[in-house]
Structure 1
Amino acid sequence: MTSIGPVNALYPMPATLVGANVNGKPNFLAVAHVGILNHGTPQYLSIGLAKIHYTNKGILENKSFSICLPSEDLMVETDYCGIMTGKKTDKAALFDVFYGDLKTAPMIRQCPVSMELKLHDVLDFKTHDIFIGELAETYADDGVLTDGAVDMAKLRPLLFDRSFRDRGNACL
């Protein structure tokens, strides 16, 4: 084995679109670092967002957020949500937005899979907020299901691979 330093080797990861209502309007942010904290019931997921993001305010205000899984077909829209700020741009206008039982976690109908989460806890780091959400419900397009479960081959998730950026290539 060769030591290569403290290099995160957990790539590629699925790119996601995280949704929250901010000032009463839906907003989406591209996020590639989503964590699965457990597989039991209730199930908890985490996202880490830099404190500068507009979306953080909405998650804190509404105590809810969504995690939507775009397919490869949404590469342009996902990239746009990653480079534009919701402070100046209505990114929700790109999508057909819907709400589930929580009523405050906007989701994207064009994403084959969307999950709504109730905010469970926030870990407050100097530069980032780590939001831990309790999974409330998952919505999936019938076309990505096999025997009632999400089939990643059918989903064709958009993948984020930072190692490509580190080598000078595109990351989405």
Structure 2
Amino acid sequence: MQALGPVNALYPMPTTLVGTVINHKINFLAVAHVGILNHGEPQYLSIGLSKAHYSNQGIITNKSFSICLPNRQIMAQTDYCGIVTGKNTDKSKVFDSFFGEVPGAPMISECPVNMELKLHEVLDFNTHDIFIGELVQTYADPSVLTNGKIDMAKLDPLLFDMASKKYWAIGQAVGDCWREGKVLKR
């Protein structure tokens, strides 16, 4: 094994679009630094944003945000939302947006899956804010569901890799969770 230094080797990550409202205007930001904090109820998700991002003030003011999962069909629009800042560019017309149960958490009709969250806590790091949100509701286009559950193959999520600076697509399923290891049980 070769030592690489403190290199984050967890990429690729799902590319998401984080939605918020700032000064009565919808804004979306492309974000790959997302995390699942637990699998119980309530469920908590996190997003890590540089303090310089315009979206931070909307999340803090509204105490809410959305996490929308784009697919490769809207890759250009998703990338655009990560290239330009809402401080200087109106991104409210890039997508058809809608609201669910949580005020201040706009979602995207073109994204096959959208989640709305209430802000639970903000962790203040030197250069970044970690926003922890309580998952309130998930919306999915029926075309990405199999037996009422989100199907990764149908979703075709856009993945982000920092090392190659490329977007990737998901591959194929290679095994069953909590089953493959049973061959090692005695």
TM-score by length of 2: 0.87
Give the drift of 1:154: 0.4
Contact 1:97 1:106 in 2 (8 A): yes
Cα displacement string for residues 21-69 of structure 1 (whole angstroms, at most 9, x for unaligned residues): 0111110000001000000000000001011111000000000000000
- Between 1:129-138 and 1:95-104, the stretch displaced more is 95-104
Counterpart CA distance in 2 for 1:144 and 1:79 is: 22
Counterpart CA distance in 1 for 2:40 and 2:139 is: 19
Aligned to 1:51: 51
Counterpart amino acid of residue 48 in structure 2: G
2:123 aligned counterpart, secondary structure? strand
Contact 1:65 1:119 in 2 (8 A): yes
Query: How many residues are aligned here?
Result: 168
Aligned to 1:18: 18
1:154 aligned counterpart, secondary structure? helix
Counterpart CA distance in 2 for 1:72 and 1:99 is: 23
Aligned to 1:65: 65
Give the drift of 1:171: 4.8
Unaligned runs of 5+ in 1: none
Matches within 5 A, 1:87-126: 87-126=87-126
1:26 aligned counterpart, secondary structure? strand
Contact 1:162 1:171 in 2 (8 A): no
Contact 2:158 2:167 in 1 (8 A): no
Counterpart amino acid of residue 84 in structure 1: V
Give the drift of 1:2: 3.2
Counterpart CA distance in 2 for 1:120 and 1:29 is: 20
Counterpart amino acid of residue 33 in structure 2: H
Matches within 5 A, 1:140-159: 140-159=140-159
Counterpart CA distance in 2 for 1:30 and 1:129 is: 15
Unaligned runs of 5+ in 2: 169-186
TM-score by length of 1: 0.94
2:163 aligned counterpart, secondary structure? helix
Give the drift of 1:3: 2.7
Counterpart CA distance in 1 for 2:163 and 2:49 is: 20
Contact 1:119 1:131 in 2 (8 A): yes
Cα displacement string for residues 118-154 of structure 1 (whole angstroms, at most 9, x for unaligned residues): 0000001121110000000000000001111111110
